[in-house]
Amino acid sequence: MQIGKPLQIIFFIIIGLIISSFFLLASNVSPISGILYMLYSGFGTRIGVIATLNDSIPMIIVAIAIIIPFTAKFWNIGGQGQYLVGSIFATWIGLDLAGSMPPAIVIMAALLLSFVGGALWAFPPTAMKLYFGTNEVITTLMMNFVAVYLVDYLVSGPMEGALQRATHAPSSSTIPSPDQLFYLHGVNIGIVIAIVIAVAIFFLIRYTNFGYELRLMGNSNIAAQYAGAPLKRNMFQAMLLSGGIAGIAGMVQVFGLAHALLLSELSDITTSFGYVAIPIALIAFLNPLLTVISAIFFAGILNGAYVLEVVYGISLNLVIIIYGLIMIFAIMGVMINLNRVTKLFRRGRKNKLVEAAKN
Amino acid sequence: MIAMKGIVKEFPGVLAVDHVDFELYPGEIHALLGENGAGKTTLMNVLYGIYKADSGETLINGKPVRINNAVDAQSNRIGMVHQHFSLIPAFTVAENLSIGLKDGGFILKEEYVGSKIKEAEDKYGIHIDVNRKVDDLSIGEQQRVEVLKLLFRGANTLILDEPTSALTPQEAENLFLSLKALKAEGKAIVVITHKLYEVMEIADRVTVLRKGRVVFKSMKAGVTSDILAEAMIGKGVELAKYKKEEVKAEGSLVIEKLMVIGERHDTLVNDATIRLNKGEIIGVAGVSGNGQKELVEALFGMRKISAGSITMGGKDITSSNVKARVMSGLGYIPEERKTKGVAISLSLSLNSVIHSHWGAPYLVNKMFNYTAIRKLAKQIISKFNVAAKSEAALAKNLSGGNLQKFIVGREMLNEPDYLIAVNPTSGLDIGATEYVRKELVDYRNRGKGVLLVSEDLDELLALSDQIVVMYRGSTSPSVNQKDFDRLKIGAMMLGEGFTR
């Protein structure tokens, strides 16, 4: 990471905001006050900060999860599916043990089971990649759709609960309040789980042989093999760990924030943490600690944009457009090599000069 | 008639083609002979428009032409078959042949292609089933498709780069027959090769390149293979003498009857046997592609061994993994320094612990000790004269020579009993070359064994205590230093003494 990169990202985010301004203008909202109000509501008020932190929790955890295989250039796009299956397992064990076991045991069991569920979901694409050479981007992505419909089937069938009768939205029963993850000054305690995971994975990647070998693999599999890294075993471990941690995000969501397993329709694009996690991790240069900041930033933008909807009456779709634009431009800030761009322009000019000289 | 005059092509640090004149007449097969890196392919790539010559010109029938890309070459009716084919594996032969074809209508044209193929079969004896997928074809068949592609596009000058390197003898024989038929029709054909017997068999005219220069040029009639061999490998340059000391050390690395079978079920290493004693440099000579790469990979645990055994100091390591081999005393300086020897976008610090990252002092209580790691990197940089800003510099910011010194240093500081070095000086300047060679000899003098695999015969003659030649995956008996004979070993590299 060069020093210039963070500045470049900020620069691109500003471009994203400028383009968003046109959409705001089209809805008769003054762009400057609109954008300032959005940032203020996301990061400036007590309520805003609390909401932002709470929303960032699953984003952080899933983003950390995918960083592990991403470090070895193994593209786990299946964070969403692993997250959903983790939440299924957590909900099931939570409801099954409710009342019969002390809350601490229930929570530990749910954490463990959600990890197992996520890892289980990551297993088939990994095995297929390693033994048949299928493309992991496609298989992990496809597993997401299976997970989405599995949730839909469960909440309107086998796991259909009392909550549905009250709200008419398919969902499981509620996790009883003694078992829920508690709030401290309005912030769910899940944030502690998220930060512990972030620090642990930071150490895993920086300070262990396993992390070192993943970094070598991310550079070149041949170099890693030369260095003595067992490629297949590392890949399996990285993917199962990744799936498991994404699964834990599902547990935290169910036990801390949603308190029940919900129909996937109720989790629209803005709550599809598995997908949002990818740009969040990339913008943080796959650094687990920076990921915490990057996730909080996007959670804040999203919250602020929601407030715009309420206060200025702009459409929800527009809110999501703005959120998406900022994310796209932030990613461009990470990916684009400005040196190369300027070189391209210079080369273009040089060619023209050569042409001119010839004529 | 094509004439190339005074062609010069320089790559950073290497003068690949140095004022070469080359003539090609219709109705002849012209063999372009030379060792690896002699500049044969570069010269032909200039003719085909892939490279632009730094100076010199190309004339066709006396008129200067500019060939800046393959399209220009095609419009001058020049075609080239590269060593690596440019066919689309998922397409059928007919589909591949139709790409870029101007005649026969916009939409395909299997009938048209079919009739053309029939014609080619009758005239040149090139058989191929147009409906098969290229993926399913053997190398020899794919090559036929490449040749047909050129003919379909109207080429009357054909350049073939090492056309027989992957062919069976039977396939090569068929190719030669086809080439002769094409020649009879008035096509001009260039065959790039380093195999003498091919030249003797098919060429009408020979040009020999060495280190980018034309060293011999003649009609084939009257030329013997001895003359060509000498022209090709030269008399040898006087290399600096290296001080070798008598070393007493017990133990050896024994490779016995090693077999490596490739993915296409082809035998890459065949019954290779090498015995490397401590305090000795064994040179492995051979034209590249004769199984040296696969032998080394199998030796280091990066490739599956089908049969045979490897023992190191009496310990069988045939089925050990890379880690176990390194821990029991094996080191490896790979030829691919940027893609294999280092993780190119990581820092020198992180690269310095490759092969020593499994234990103290770099891994303490399962945690990396970055202080020790940085110290190691600094030690390599200062001891082996690596020009790097600091140990935090990224490997990709080092020049080839410095990267090589870094890798040599890293492997030697790890103190393996046996060190494999593959083309350790290729692409290095004179200073770095001498440095690396001296380090290798010093390492031997300290009682360690060095397996030096190199395409540079002079290097092997200067450094080795014994030389083993590899040809088509097999090894020759080892030749002792007192029996070193440039020409004899050169001939062995070209297959003499091996059963063909």
B109 by DSSP, 3-state: which?
coil
Q: Establish if A102 belongs to a structural domain.
A: yes
Token couple for A287: 């650094």
Nearest residue of chain B to residue A225 (CA atoms): B302
Q: Note whether B99 and B181 are same-domain residues.
A: yes
Q: Which domain holds residue B105?
A: 2-233
- State the alpha helices, DSSP H only, in B37-77: 40-47, 70-75
Candidates A219, A233, A286, partner chain B, best to mutate (most B CBs within 10 A)? A219
- Of B202, B233, B264, the one marking the end of a domain is B233
What's residue B316's pLDDT? Answer: 95
- The shortest CB-CB distance from B355 to any of A220, A225, A227 is to A227
Write out residues 208-237 of A within 8 Å (CB-CB) of B: 208-209, 212, 215-216, 219-220, 222-228, 230
Give the residue from B466, B415, B465, B409 showing the smallest Cα distance to B436.
Answer: B409
Q: What are phi and psi of B479, to 5 degrees?
A: -105, 130
Give the residue from A137, A120, A138, A143 showing the smallest Cα distance to A73.
Answer: A137
> CA-CA distance, B424 to B444, in Å (whole number)?
15
Token couple for B357: 């990252």
Residue, of A156 and B422, whose pLDDT is higher: B422
Q: Note whether B152 and B285 are same-domain residues.
A: no
Record: contact B334-A226, CB cut-off 8 A: yes
Q: Note whether B203 and B75 are same-domain residues.
A: yes
pLDDT mean over B278-307: 92
Location of structure tokens 């080359």: B22
Indicate if the pLDDT at residue B61 is higher than 70.
yes
Q: Establish if A330 belongs to a structural domain.
A: no
Name chain A contacts of B344, Cβ cutoff 8 Å.
219-220, 223
Contact indicator for B463, B423 with CB cutoff of 8 Å: no
* pLDDT interval class at B305 (50, 70, 90): very high
- Sign of the CA dihedral running B351, B356, B361, B365: positive
CB contact set of B324 (below 8 Å; sequence gap of 6+): B301, B317
Percent of chain B's residues with pLDDT above 90: 50
> CA-CA distance, A117 to A87, in Å (whole number)?
8
> CA-CA distance, A299 to A303, in Å (whole number)?
6
> CA-CA distance, A206 to A228, in Å (whole number)?
18
Record: contact B321-A230, CB cut-off 8 A: yes
Nearest residue of chain A to residue B340 (CA atoms): A223
- Of B201, B233, B265, the one marking the end of a domain is B233
Record: contact A226-B345, CB cut-off 8 A: no
Token couple for A84: 């959903």
pLDDT mean over B139-156: 86
Q: Establish if B242 belongs to a structural domain.
A: no
Tally the domains of chain B.
2
Give the residue from B202, B198, B200 showing the smallest Cα distance to B189.
Answer: B202
Indicate if the pLDDT at residue B71 is higher than 70.
yes
In DSSP notation, B421-455 reads EESTTTT--HHHHHHHHHHHHHHHHTT-EEEEE-S
Q: Note whether B222 and B268 are same-domain residues.
A: no
Q: Note whether B366 and B407 are same-domain residues.
A: yes
- The shortest CB-CB distance from B357 to any of A212, A219, A220 is to A212
Indicate if the pLDDT at residue B32 is higher than 50.
yes
Token couple for B86: 């440019």
Indicate if the pLDDT at residue A264 is higher than 70.
no
Residue, of B111 and A291, whose pLDDT is higher: A291
- Specify the DSSP element, H or E, that contains A279: helix A273-283
Q: Establish if B246 belongs to a structural domain.
A: no
Q: Note whether B271 and B184 are same-domain residues.
A: no
Indicate if the pLDDT at residue A358 is higher than 70.
no
Record: contact B357-A227, CB cut-off 8 A: yes
Name chain A contacts of B330, Cβ cutoff 8 Å.
none
Q: Note whether B97 and B62 are same-domain residues.
A: yes
In DSSP notation, B281-341 reads EEEEE--TTSSHHHHHHHHHTSS---EEEEEETTEE-TT--HHHHHHTTEEEE-S-IIIII
Give the residue from B484, B455, B481 showing the smallest Cα distance to B470.
Answer: B455
What's residue B237's pLDDT? Answer: 57
CB contact set of B220 (below 8 Å; sequence gap of 6+): B31, B199, B200, B203, B204, B205, B206
Q: Establish if B243 belongs to a structural domain.
A: no
Name chain A contacts of B343, Cβ cutoff 8 Å.
215-216, 219-220, 223-224, 227
Tally the domains of chain A.
1
Q: Establish if A324 belongs to a structural domain.
A: no
What's residue A344's pLDDT? Answer: 67
pLDDT, one tens digit per residue, over A40-65 is 999 999 999 999 999 999 999 999 99
- The shortest CB-CB distance from B367 to any of A207, A222, A223 is to A207
> Which CATH number do you get for residue A88?
1.10.3470
Strand order in the sheet with B252-261: B267-277, B252-261, B307-312, B315-316
* pLDDT interval class at B494 (50, 70, 90): confident
What's residue B378's pLDDT? Answer: 96
> How far B390 CA lies from chain A's nearest CA (Å)?
16
Location of structure tokens 């092997």: B460
> How far B319 CA lies from chain A's nearest CA (Å)?
14
B256 by DSSP, 3-state: which?
strand
Indicate if the pLDDT at residue A179 is higher than 60.
yes
DSSP B133: B
- Of B174, B205, B233, the one marking the end of a domain is B233
* pLDDT interval class at A1 (50, 70, 90): very low
pLDDT mean over A235-249: 97
Classify strands B280-285 and B449-453 as parallel, antiparallel or unpaired. parallel
Degrees, nearest 5: CA angle A116-A121-A122:
100
Indicate if the pLDDT at residue A279 is higher than 70.
yes
Q: Establish if B464 belongs to a structural domain.
A: yes
pLDDT mean over A299-309: 89
> CA-CA distance, B438 to B425, in Å (whole number)?
11
Name chain B contacts of A224, Cβ cutoff 8 Å.
343
Q: Note whether B334 and B197 are same-domain residues.
A: no
Indicate if the pLDDT at residue B13 is higher than 70.
no
What's residue A125's pLDDT? Answer: 97
Q: Establish if A341 belongs to a structural domain.
A: no
B85 CB-side CA count, 13 A: 24
Mean per-residue pLDDT over chain A, rounded: 89
Q: Establish if B248 belongs to a structural domain.
A: no
Name chain A contacts of B341, Cβ cutoff 8 Å.
223, 226
Indicate if the pLDDT at residue B110 is higher than 80.
no
What's residue A206's pLDDT? Answer: 95
Q: Establish if B309 belongs to a structural domain.
A: yes
> In this structure, how many other beta carbons lie within 10 angstroms of the beta carbon of residue A342?
10
- The shortest CB-CB distance from A226 to any of B340, B346, B363 is to B340
Indicate if the pLDDT at residue A163 is higher than 70.
no
CB contact set of B359 (below 8 Å; sequence gap of 6+): none
What's residue B28's pLDDT? Answer: 94
Classify strands B466-471 and B280-285 as parallel, antiparallel or unpaired. parallel
Indicate if the pLDDT at residue A350 is higher than 60.
no
Contact indicator for B376, B369 with CB cutoff of 8 Å: no
Q: Note whether B197 and B301 are same-domain residues.
A: no
Indicate if the pLDDT at residue B488 is higher than 90.
no
The size of chain B, in residues, is: 500
Q: Establish if A334 belongs to a structural domain.
A: no
Mean per-residue pLDDT over chain B, rounded: 88
Q: Establish if A331 belongs to a structural domain.
A: no
> Which CATH number do you get for residue B83?
3.40.50.300
> CA-CA distance, B145 to B81, in Å (whole number)?
10
Name chain B contacts of A232, Cβ cutoff 8 Å.
none
> How far B392 CA lies from chain A's nearest CA (Å)?
13
Record: contact A212-B336, CB cut-off 8 A: no
Percent of chain B's residues with pLDDT above 70: 96
> CA-CA distance, A226 to A219, in Å (whole number)?
12
The CA dihedral of B301, B307, B312, B315, to the nearest 10 degrees, is 110
> How far A333 CA lies from chain B's nearest CA (Å)?
20
Location of structure tokens 């620090």: A199
Q: Note whether B339 and B456 are same-domain residues.
A: yes
Token couple for A39: 């940032």
Indicate if the pLDDT at residue A87 is higher than 60.
yes
Q: Note whether B259 and B196 are same-domain residues.
A: no
- Sign of the CA dihedral running B167, B170, B176, B179: negative
Q: Which domain holds residue A179?
A: 30-313
Q: Note whether B223 and B272 are same-domain residues.
A: no
In this prediction the ipTM stands at 0.84
Indicate if the pLDDT at residue B105 is higher than 70.
no
Residue, of B126 and B305, whose pLDDT is higher: B305
Q: What are phi and psi of A30, to 5 degrees?
A: -65, 120
Q: Establish if A100 belongs to a structural domain.
A: yes
CB contact set of B45 (below 8 Å; sequence gap of 6+): B51, B80
Indicate if the pLDDT at residue A319 is higher than 90.
no
- The shortest CB-CB distance from A219 to any of B334, B345, B367 is to B345
Token couple for A310: 């309420």
pLDDT, one tens digit per residue, over B413-460 is 999 999 999 999 887 777 788 889 999 999 999 999 999 999 888 889
A316 by DSSP, 3-state: which?
helix
